[in-house]
Amino acid sequence: RAAAPEEKFLMSCPSELADTCLNISILAVMLSPNDTTSLIGTIRAAAPGVNFTSRLFARPRPLLDPSSAVLWAIALCTVIVASFVSSAKERRQQKARQGGDRTMDSVSDIPVQDVGMLHAVGFIFAASCALVLLFFFIRSVIFFMIIIYCIASVSAFTGITMGPLQGLSPSLAAEASLPLLGKVERSALLALSAGIAIATTWFVNRHELWAWALQDVLSVSLCIHILSLMRFPDAKVSATLLCLALVYDIFWVFISPLLFSENVMIGVATGQGHQYNSSSPLPPPSDMIPMLLVVPKVWDWAGGVTLLGLGDVVLPGLMVSYALRMDYLRRGTCLGGYFILLCFGYGVGLAMAIVASVLMRMGQPALLYLVPCTLLPFFSLAWCRGELHDVWYGPGGKAAGHGAETDDGEAEYGREEEGASGLEAAAAAPAEEIHQRLLDKGQ
């Protein structure tokens, strides 16, 4: 393991091998990597003409580890669950229409933010600026980031668990009066208390081996909550954002070492930051950025963890949730449409990223594999079905001849009434418009 130059390793001898250890005739020492470099420099300085080499012997490390499969399953399940949560309104509306009840068409859920083109470009620019700042100052602000992460995760956990709690026990929907807070739903109190307990336990014990499970609970809650509050309005914005994010990942992983002499993305993700003085390496950071899914390695004798950034879940997840909404609006079901195909593509892309990181022995930008494996199947299926124009402009698209917007803001695709006359089409128009049309026909 890496150690500070002043750190010393204590060597011991098993009691059953005491005689062998005491009579050993070969000098054996244990040096840290930094001490090894220092020793080689000292020897070369003392004997300039001597060719000195060193060789490191280490136990072989396994190529695959169960932690990769667990991480893959957590990420895929998070995307699937978050997609169903974000499309709850469309699903309820479709069930209401099938039952002949139009009262559910105007259901208003939690306000949702549509990600526009300006948001997409601005997000990548802001993320790049933030990454550079964190690269230089990550050690100074890491504790503050952990606090923000805990607060955001508690809020997300509360938001996504209130509904299920009320479903399990309708009595939790009742309100309770509290000092200073007034009337608060019991489900909110229960969810908030559980979220605070989980976040506090993780914060206090975040360096313990078992704390990864609590961190994953908080990170999954954060991903689901973000995907329930944000969505792509059309495939045009989704393709733009994912392609920009792909370029962002490639630049900061593969090209940044040419500009900064260090890998900016890895430096921020591990909490190491910028190495200001290469002659005196900084000690390993005590914390990494918490916005990660983490699973400890099981078979690797050197330990370590398998990591996945939350951006690799949220950004492709926005595309998957958009596909599910399109399926509900166009076909009324999640089967046989875009959603199943994109879930499969996300799983394949993430598996490819994991395999690539194992074979290359280095971290990989997951979006390099996730973006093609989600966008290409989506647009290929849309093209084969002749729906490319509709999905490109989305449910609220205003393109001429493609989809008219209904009262509740949804597009009615492919519902043109055959044989409708001009007067029948004008039946719902204002009286002035009908009169004008009749005058035009008379002329």
For residue 180, give both structure tokens. 């200073």
Which of 35, 234, 312, 390 does the annotation list as catalytic?
312
User: Distance between CA atoms of 388 and 246, rounded to whole angstroms?
Assistant: 22
Phi-psi region of 30 (alpha: psi -120 to 50; beta: other; left: phi over 0): beta
Which one of 249, 287, 327, 390 is the catalytic residue?
249
Instruction: Judge whether 273 and 136 are in contact, CB under 8 Å.
Output: yes
312 among known catalytic residues: yes
Q: What's phi and psi for 10, nearest 5 deg? A: -90, 125
The residue type at 326: M
- Written as six digits, the tokens of 123 are 């997000």
CA distances from 337 to 62, 366, 371 (A): 39, 25, 19
Report the distance separating Cα 383 and Cα 376, nearest Å. Answer: 10
Q: Residue 126: helix, strand or coil by DSSP? A: helix
Q: Residue 341 has which token pair?
A: 């195909």
Distances (CA, A) of 409 to 329, 333, 405, 427: 11, 19, 6, 21
Q: Which of 277, 255, 276, 253 is nearest to 136 (CA)?
A: 276
The three state secondary structure string of 268-305 is HHCCCCCCCCCCCCCCCCCCCCCCEEEEECCCCCCCCE
Q: How far apart are alpha carbons 346 and 349 in whole angstroms?
A: 5
Total residue count of the chain as it appears in this document: 443
Give the helix ranges, DSSP H, for 230-310: 235-250, 256-260, 264-269
Backbone phi and psi for residue 279, each to the nearest 5 degrees, phi listed first: -75, -20
Scanning 169-234, the segments in alpha helix (DSSP H) are 186-204, 212-229
> Measured between alpha carbons, how far is 420 from 369 in angstroms, rounded to an integer?
49
3-class SS shares of the chain: helix, strand, coil, % to 5? 60, 5, 35
Tokens of 117: 């083109």
- From 232, 227, 229, 202, select the one nearest 214 (Cα to Cα): 202
Q: Residues 51-55: contacts with CB within 8 Å, 24+ apart?
A: none
Alpha-carbon span 89 to 409, nearest angstrom: 12
Could you list the active site residues? 249, 312
